[in-house]
Amino acid sequence: MRRVSFLSLPIVLTVWTASALAQGNPEAAKMKNPVASSAESIAAGKATFTKNCRFCHGADAKGNGPMAPKDTHPSDRTDAKWDRGGSDGEIFAVIRDGAGPKFDMKGYKGKLTDTDIWNVVNYLRSIGTK
């Protein structure tokens, strides 16, 4: 009986993690975007997105990039539903820390500055569903 319980632990943890991620990140939701959304910030965010994100998310951010890892489904950043939370802080945290149950999307912490990431958040807001 203990073996069955022990073997089911990874399944329970995976379901719990996926459920938690789908509900957003309450701590990240509290973060406020310190970079004002401006033409300059949006242009900088677009440049950073084009350099780092378009390969998986697509040039139009619809999740249709040609180099997404096999059997993954990069998020459409232009739709109204953001599975990991839609606040600026939650979007920032996903870009910084990565996403997915298996973290197919690697985080950009240490690769992009916080300002670069906030600029990407502003860019995504500018192209998303209003």
**Which domains are seen in the chain, by residue range?**
2-127 (1.10.760.10)
Output the average pLDDT for the chain. Answer: 81
pLDDT at residue 115, as a whole number: 98
Confidence of residue 130 (pLDDT cuts 50, 70, 90): low
pLDDT at residue 20, as a whole number: 43
Q: H/E element holding 98?
A: strand 98-99
pLDDT digit string, tens, across residues 69-90: 777 778 887 777 777 788 999 9
pTM score: 0.76
pLDDT digit string, tens, across residues 3-53: 544 444 344 333 334 434 445 889 999 999 999 999 999 999 999 999 999
Higher pLDDT among residues 1 and 62, named by residue:
62
Higher pLDDT among residues 75 and 129, named by residue:
75
Q: How far apart are CA 93 and CA 120, in angstroms?
A: 12
